[in-house]
Structure 1
Amino acid sequence: MIANLFQQFKQAPMGTLSSWEQQRPVWLVMSAASLFLILSAMGYFQWFLEMDPCEICVYIRFSQCCILFAGLIIAINPRISVLKLIGLALAWYGVLQGMAWSIELNVLHDSSHALDDVMASGGDLFAAGGGGGACSTEPHFPLGLPLHEWLPYEFQPSGICGEDDWTLLGLNMAQYCIIAYTFFIVALAPVTAGTVKNLISK
């Protein structure tokens, strides 16, 4: 089946994209991928590994929720232009903002761990300008949403930015988030192009 889809794409790229973006499963897959990331953060990192989320971590979770709801909005009926435009705007906001927060978290992670020698010699991480200086326990979400009060387990920061020591295959959590958002961009761009083509042709 996948081979047939790629064969169709090869023969008529824009026509195939226009067809894909009008199918509900495409958008449900996007929502499912985002839900997987959210549940991984809560279940594996926060509950199993007992890694408290930092301020930027909960912002990244928020961006993933934006992508999740964007896919669900479009999946109501992918042929309704208003739902499609609202969903795409929300999805692109979540993807681009999430990428920016992931890059910021990676920078803080690198700067924090670069000071290991300072800490080993009795230095002060915060006085030396380490990663935790950018953190707050009072997050500020868009539109003033008090998500940390509504869903404290998910959105209340209690960790220090960049202080996690988790790695897999040499990459840290922030770098895996960057990879995830890159995949979202690669997947979202063509279906957005298909949407634009359909809107123009109407």
Structure 2
Amino acid sequence: MSLQQRLKEFWGQFKATPADSLTHMQDHRPIWLVMVGGALFLILSAIFYFQLFLAMDPCELCVYIRFSQCCIVLAGLIILIDPRNHILKFLGLLLAWYAVIQGWMWSVELMKIHDAAHMVVDETMDFFAAAGDAAGSACSTDPRFPLNLPLDEWLPFEFAPTGGCGEDDWTLLGMNMAHYCIIAYTVFMVCLAPLTFGWVRSLKKLLPLKK
């Protein structure tokens, strides 16, 4: 059976029984491999394209975002050990949701700082009033990772902030890195929510039925 036929068959089954399809999907490895692959793509793009090729040093928020993407990879790897193990699935989903939500928040903060740093100000404009809280934000070269992990000491090239937040001028289709990170985390949320629903639904099947 060709890939096109398989996709067509899958789509037909999904339209007929979406809840059952989600329950079945989250119970197998391919979908979690996609999640791991997506997060790895973001990490490698940041390191090899932005940091090495474009020589854009990562800022404090950048390395925090990179940390959250590593957590998504780790969450997927935990689930991939055995997607049908509910304890592993719980731990993996808990870590994945933490990473996605925290990464989204860091991306929004970075976007605000970037917008404030690139704001065009004239003599009649109150910069601090227009920029809001982001106007007084500053990046540190001494990051504080969750659980006090010294990632900047263990892996300085990947996690030591050497740039300033909001200083980059890279854009694509009118959006900067922070915008694309927000989009990426939103996609993760949209995909993770139905998979989590499918897992919760599989848990209900284990509960004894009431008479």
TM-score by length of 2: 0.87
Which aligned pairs between 1:56-67 and structure 2 lie closer than 5 A? 56-67=61-72
| CA-based RMSD | 1.6
Residues 1:144 and 2:148 aligned together: yes
Partner of 1:72: 77
Distance 1:44 1:132, change over 3 A: farther
Partner of 1:124: none
Q: Distance in 2 between matches of 1:68 and 1:197?
A: 24
Residues 1:154 and 2:158 aligned together: yes
- The CA deviation string for residues 101-122 of structure 1, in whole angstroms up to 9 with x for no partner, is 000000000000005769xxxx
How far 1:78 moved relative to its partner? 0.2
Stretches of structure 1 lacking an aligned partner (at least 5 in a row): 119-128
Which aligned pairs between 1:35-114 and structure 2 lie closer than 5 A? 35-114=40-119
Q: Which amino acid aligns with 1:36?
A: F
Distance 1:116 1:50, change over 3 A: farther
TM-score by length of 1: 0.91
Q: Which has the larger radius of gyration?
A: 2
For these two proteins, the number of residue pairs brought into alignment is 192
Q: Is the 8 A contact 1:112 1:131 kept in 2?
A: yes
Q: Distance in 2 between matches of 1:183 and 1:3?
A: 23
Q: Is the 8 A contact 2:112 2:134 kept in 1?
A: no
Partner of 1:123: none
How far 1:7 moved relative to its partner? 1.5
Q: Distance in 2 between matches of 1:33 and 1:130?
A: 29
Q: Is the 8 A contact 2:100 2:188 kept in 1?
A: yes
Distance 1:131 1:167, change over 3 A: farther
Distance 1:61 1:199, change over 3 A: same
Q: Percent identity?
A: 60
Partner of 1:125: none
